[in-house]
Structure 1
Amino acid sequence: MEHFIKVEPDVDIFVHEVNPEGKKTILFIHGWPLNHNAYEYQFDYLPAMGYRCIGMDTRGFGKSSKPWRGYGYDRIADDILCVVRHLHLKDFVLAGHSMGGAAAIRYMARHDGFCVSKLALFGAAAPSLTIQPDFPYGVPKEAVTQMIEQTYQDRPNMLWQLKDMFFYQKLSEPFLNWFFQLGLRAAGWATADCAVTFRDETLFFDLGKINVPTLILHGIHDRVCLFPLAEAMKKGIRNSVLIPFEDSGHGLFYEQKDEFNAKLAEFIG
């Protein structure tokens, strides 16, 4: 089932729904620079267990509208709220990877966790993807700035190089090409503006506002969102559990997909 949900007069968010009759609902927020198709191997597995799985393309990515502006965490959190209200979601699990995890955290803080019963974070870009004066655990801001510049100069090459940083395991060339194609479906300006957001915005004050059970899954070899970020989230979010993935980088939802799906399903219940 597919929907286009209007979040602003000129902005529609694409939503793909699998097993609408499922017993429990999971709303997946993808990471940069992908789209909901990144969760293909969750949508293959979880609906068969009776779960209702919903994936949305955040603005600027996949099949969603690609406005010129509006790529901060607040606006993306507001888009999530529009989807939640349009679909009348209740007691659902909000799940986010990378920048999508950061957007999910902002949703919890900005909208008081509206209708969310549990939160799941995968390699999330929080509380700060980049190094801050009092937070030495991220990547250098200069590295993200370089990616932004590469996006405007040669976006396909930037995306092609990203795949080598994204995964820890050696994966097939056809899979890596498929992954590369996901990033090409985004708008260049959206790709760059989102990178500005995760370079400059932080979520330190958001963590303490989360009041639902939270599962943190994070690859110990993650070179995009370094593992100390997961430890900081565990420390900052009450009632949270951190499970390290020993054989994964940033793409843990594929690199250890069987363990990932099992841990997620166990958490959802």
Structure 2
Amino acid sequence: MGYYVTVEPGVNLFVEDINPRGSKTIVFLHGWPLTHEQFEYQFDVLPSMDYRCIGIDWRGFGNSDKPMDGYTYDRLADDIYSVVNALQLDNFTLVGHSTGGAIAIRYMSRYNEYGVSKLVLIDAAAPIGFTAETAAELLEGALNDRPKMMQEVTDTFFFQYISVPFSKWFLQMGLQAAGWSTAAVIKLLRDETLYEDLGKINTNALIAHGIHDKVIPFAQAEELNRKISNSHLVPFSYSGHGLFWEERDTFNQLLMQFIG
């Protein structure tokens, strides 16, 4: 079931709500510049195991509205809070991949972990995102040849082989974003950090990270593990930045065990 939630006047976020009567709720935050559809291989499995799966497209991405502004961690976390309130969610597991992991971290610190029982960070772009050099290259591509830039992102995203049809599907997912929001989040990942947020997280946290990740180095997962007090790091030995697909069976089992 898909619907829209208004997070501020004129800005509506698309929410995919699968198995609304499930006994345990998981909220999924996608990575840049993707959509909630990146979690297809979780949505295929978890609802049949009695989990309610909620995928949110951030502002500027997927099927959500695409305003010109609001691309800061604070505003993006505020958007998630608005959805949580609108759906009256409580005692849910918050799952964030890459930049979605960074947004989840800001949500946890900004809203005192409101409603969250457990936190899962997948290849999280934290406590830092892109270096100035990487951001400059991505901005150049985003503003001049966005499809080529997105194809290059896809080519470095996975450690395991992906088929040509899968690559095309992944590419099109990224191109659903607006050009301006794609560029704005590159700047966000360049300019904002999350060091001060980490010490405010007390909820039990699972950190899952591909050891072959070329987008966010595995060393950052180790840093998160050191700085988030109640966290557990699980390396994924056969994954790059896309362990949610590359080792989907292993990840899905791990997620269910973690949630309980």
- 1:32 deviation in Å? 0.1
Q: 1:200 aligns with which of 184, 191, 203?
A: 191
Aligned residue number for residue 26 of structure 1: 26
Does 2:50 match 1:57?
no
Aligned residue number for residue 245 of structure 2: 254
1:163-208 superposed Cα distances (whole Å, 9 cap, x missing partner): 1111011111111110001001000000000010011100001011
Aligned residue number for residue 70 of structure 2: 70
| Alignment map for 1:233-248 (pairs within 5 Å) | 233-248=224-239
| Alignment map for 1:52-201 (pairs within 5 Å) | 52-130=52-130, 140-201=131-192
- 1:3 deviation in Å? 1.6
How far apart, in 1, do the equivalents of 2:47 and 2:224 lie? 28
Question: What amino acid is aligned across from residue 114 of structure 1 in structure 2?
Answer: Y
How far apart, in 1, do the equivalents of 2:152 and 2:75 lie? 29
How far apart, in 2, do the equivalents of 1:103 and 1:233 lie? 14
1:28-78 superposed Cα distances (whole Å, 9 cap, x missing partner): 000000000000000001111110000000000001000001111100000
- 1:143 deviation in Å? 1.3
Q: How many residues align?
A: 260
Aligned residue number for residue 42 of structure 1: 42
Question: What amino acid is aligned across from residue 68 of structure 1 in structure 2?
Answer: M
Give the TM-score normalised by the residue count of structure 2.
0.99
Aligned residue number for residue 217 of structure 2: 226
CA RMSD of aligned residues (A): 0.6
Question: What amino acid is aligned across from residue 200 of structure 1 in structure 2?
Answer: D
How far apart, in 1, do the equivalents of 2:177 and 2:147 lie? 11
Question: What amino acid is aligned across from residue 242 of structure 1 in structure 2?
Answer: L
- 1:129 deviation in Å? 2.0
Q: Which runs of 5+ in 1 are unaligned?
A: 131-139
Aligned residue number for residue 137 of structure 1: none
Give the TM-score normalised by the residue count of structure 1.
0.96
- 1:113 deviation in Å? 0.6
How far apart, in 1, do the equivalents of 2:81 and 2:136 lie? 30
Question: What amino acid is aligned across from residue 74 of structure 2 in structure 1?
Answer: D
How far apart, in 1, do the equivalents of 2:106 and 2:241 lie? 20
Aligned residue number for residue 135 of structure 1: none
Question: Helix, strand or coil: the match of 1:26?
Answer: strand
How far apart, in 2, do the equivalents of 1:154 and 1:68 lie? 20
Aligned residue number for residue 203 of structure 2: 212
4+ aligned runs moved over 2 Å, structure 1: none
How far apart, in 1, do the equivalents of 2:21 and 2:259 lie? 16
